[in-house]
Amino acid sequence: MSTHKVAAIQMSSAADVVTNLREAGKLMAKAAAQGAELMVLPENFALMAKSDAERVAAGELDGSGTIQDFLADKARHLRTWIVGGTLPVLAGNGKVYARSPVYNPQGERAGYYDKIHLFDVQVNTAGESYRESARTEPGRRAVVVDTPLGKLGLSVCYDLRFPELFRALAAQGATLFAVPSAFTRTTGEVHWQLLNRARAVENLAFVIAAAQTGHHTNGRETFGHSMVVDPWGEILAERDAEPGVVTAVMDTAQQARLRARFPVLSHRQLV
């Protein structure tokens, strides 16, 4: 089968895990009803914490906990692949990993990625700034997971600005990328679509970008506009600023023909 339906789930998560999981469950059921074989949740889908300390306090042990159990159960119940956005997993040093786990339709964790590039930036001159590294431990490895839809390269939000990560994933055979995100409204308006399309074109890969949206109880405002991009950089489907589900069909046979006709990956030279 060369065509597969995928979904990006867009949320406006709050600072309460129970509420967020309930909302995520509704949207995941909707995506499954639309035939999604793989769905991607946004960054911080289960908790948009009000403080770093709150986020660390919600950290789970590797492989078990309310959020991870929820994802495993939903994958098994809905019979679909799930990229679990990100959730806090204890790093053992007063920090957490921003972990993006992948579950197969049997409810088994097939792999996970810990966010490498941490968001330590001053977004604008009005004082909007972030220091994610204060309580988050960075990941150290690029991760690709084998799925029936192709080799899935994992990334998170700020990673989009680092094309070398996506090249490393492509070198491992990735044909599609998951990009769970919580892009700020400020940066999203100018860079979100551009970066997702660029990573798709550079690697002749599909991009499934699931975003947070709207005003959150922790004071953040995120951009939304979850999307699915094809290997030629065309946006197959895009959400507006409302929470919900965006689905699209990936044609992997067409992708293979494109990669054969336009072999930029094999033409790349390191100088």
The count of structural domains within the chain is 1
Please give the Cα distance from 26 to 81 (Å, whole number): 16
Residue 192 is given by DSSP the state I
Burial of 248 (0-12, 13-18, 19+ CB in 10 A): buried
User: pLDDT of the chain along its 271 residues, tens only?
Assistant: 799 999 999 999 999 999 999 999 999 999 999 999 999 999 999 999 999 899 999 999 999 999 999 999 999 999 999 999 999 999 989 999 999 999 999 999 999 999 999 988 987 767 677 889 999 999 999 999 999 999 999 999 999 999 999 999 999 999 999 999 999 999 999 999 999 999 999 999 999 999 999 999 988 999 999 999 999 999 999 999 999 999 999 999 999 999 999 999 999 988 8
CA 192 to chain centre: 13
Query: Could you tell me if 221 and 214 are in contact, meaning their C-beta atoms sit under 8 angstroms apart?
Result: yes
- Of 60, 74, 137, 157, the catalytic one is 157
CA 6 to chain centre: 13
pLDDT of residue 127: 67
Q: What is the pLDDT of residue 13?
A: 98
- Structural domain for 125, as ranges: 3-267
Catalytic residue, from 23, 37, 43, 132: name it: 43
The answer for 26, left when phi > 0, alpha when psi is -120 to 50, beta otherwise, is alpha
The partner residues of 111 in beta bridges, in order of sequence, read 102
Please indicate whether residue 43 is annotated as part of the active site: yes
β 227-229/235-238 pair status: antiparallel
Q: Is 115 a catalytic residue?
A: yes
Give the CATH number, domain containing residue 95: 3.60.110.10
Cβ neighbours of residue 73 closer than 8 Å, sequence gap 6 or more: 107
Nearest to 151 by CA among 250, 68, 263: 250
Catalytic option among 5, 95, 115, 132:
115
Active site residue 26: no
Instruction: Please indicate, yes or no, whether the overall pTM of this predicted structure exceeds 0.85.
Output: yes
pLDDT per residue as tens digits for the range 11-50: 999 999 999 999 999 999 999 999 999 999 999 999 999 9
